[in-house]
Amino acid sequence: MLRWSINRFCAGEEKRVGTRTVFVGHRPVSETDAYVEQKFCDNRIVSSKYTVWNFLPKNLFEQFRRIANFYFLIIFLVQVIVDTPTSPITSGLPLFFVIIVTAIKQGYEDWLRHRADKEVNKSSVFIVENAKQVKKHSEKIKVGDIVEVKADETFPCDLIFLASSNDDGICYVTTASLDGESNFKTHYAVRDTTGLRTDDDIDSLTATIECEQPQPDLYKFVGRINIYRSNQEPVARSLGPENLLLKGSTLKNTKKIYGVAVYTGMETKMALNYQGKSQKRSAVEKSINAFLIVYLCILVSKATVCTTLKYIWQSNPFNDEPWYNQKTIKERDMFKILRMFTDFLSFMVLFNFIIPVSMYVTVEMQKFLGSFFIAWDKEMYDEEIKEGALVNTSDLNEELGQVEYVFTDKTGTLTENSMKFIECCIDGHKYKDGISEVDGFSHTDGPLKYYGKAEKCREELFLRALCLCHTVQIQEGDNVDGLRINQERRTYIASSPDEIALVKGAKKYGFTFLGHEADYMKVQNQKNEIEKYQLLHVLNFDPVRRRMSVIVKTSTGKFLLFCKGADSSMFPRVQQDEIQQTKVHVERNAMDGYRTLCVAFKELTQEDYKKINDQLSEAKMALQDREEKMARIFDDIETDMHLIGATAVEDRLQEHAAETIEALQTAGMKVWVLTGDKMETAKSTCYASRLFQTNTELLELTTKTMGDSDRKEDRLHELLLEYHKKLLPDFPKNSGKLKRSWTVSQEYGLIIDGSTLSLILNPSQDSSSSNYKSIFLQICLKCTAVLCCRMAPLQKAQIVRMVKNTKGNPITLSIGDGANDVSMILEAHVGIGIKGKEGRQAARNSDYAVPKFMHLRKLLLAHGHLYYVRIAHLVQYFFYKNLCFILPQFLYQFFCGFSQQPLYDAAYLTMYNICFTSLPILAYSLLEQHINIETLTSDPRLYMKISDNAMLQWKPFLYWTFLGAFEGLVFFFGVYFLFQNSSLEDNGKVFGNWTFGTIVFTVLVFTVTLKLALDTRFWTWMNHFVIWGSLAFYVFFSFFWGGIIWPFLKQQRMYFVFAHMVTSVSTWLAIVLLIFISLFPEILLVVFKNAKRKNHQKKLSNRKESDSLSSRPSVRPLLLRTFSDESNV
Q: How far apart are the first and last CA of the chain?
A: 56
Residue 392 CA, distance from chain mean position: 7
Closest CA to 643 of 583, 733, 723: 583
The string of DSSP letters for 14-37 reads GGS-SEEEEEGGG--SSTTSPP--
**β-pair partners for 245:** 159
Relative orientation angle of helices 865-892 and 336-351, to the nearest 10 degrees? 140
Phi, psi (5° rounding) for residue 365? -65, -40
Closest CA to 348 of 297, 309, 314: 297
Could you list the beta-strand ranges (E) of 358-472: 390-391, 405-408, 415-426, 429-432, 450-451
Closest CA to 884 of 978, 1003, 1038: 1003
DSSP 1117: S
Q: How many CA atoms lie within 13 A of 757 on its CB side?
A: 26
What is the C-alpha separation between 661 and 408, in angstroms, rounded? 10
What is the C-alpha separation between 947 and 996, in angstroms, rounded? 45
What is the C-alpha separation between 780 and 785, in angstroms, rounded? 8
Q: Is residue 647 within 8 Å of 596, Cβ to Cβ?
A: yes
* Alpha carbon distances (Å) from 500 to 489, 642, 652: 15, 24, 16
Give the torsion sign (CA, 661, 665, 668, 672): positive
**β-pair partners for 752:** 701, 788
The string of DSSP letters for 560-584 reads EEEEEE-HHHHGGGB-GGGHHHHHH
Could you list the beta-strand ranges (E) of 385-519: 390-391, 405-408, 415-426, 429-432, 450-451, 473-476, 479-480, 483-484, 490-493, 512-517
Looking at 409, 592, 651, 847, which residue is catalytic? Answer: 409
Name the residue type at position 850: V
What is the C-alpha separation between 371 and 989, in angstroms, rounded? 55
Residues present in the chain in total = 1129
What is the C-alpha separation between 199 and 185, in angstroms, rounded? 26
Q: Is residue 280 within 8 Å of 395, Cβ to Cβ?
A: yes
Q: How many CB atoms lie within 10 A of CB 496?
A: 17
* Alpha carbon distances (Å) from 1027 to 454, 874, 1078: 81, 15, 18
* Alpha carbon distances (Å) from 1096 to 937, 1101, 1104, 1110: 16, 9, 12, 21
SS3 for 337? Answer: helix
Q: Is residue 455 within 8 Å of 427, Cβ to Cβ?
A: yes
What is the C-alpha separation between 288 and 357, in angstroms, rounded? 12
Q: Is residue 150 within 8 Å of 236, Cβ to Cβ?
A: no
In sequence order, the 6+-apart residues with CB closer than 8 A to the CB of 120 are 45, 138
Active site residue 409: yes
Q: How many CB atoms lie within 10 A of CB 1044?
A: 11
Q: Give catalytic residues, as residue numbers.
A: 409
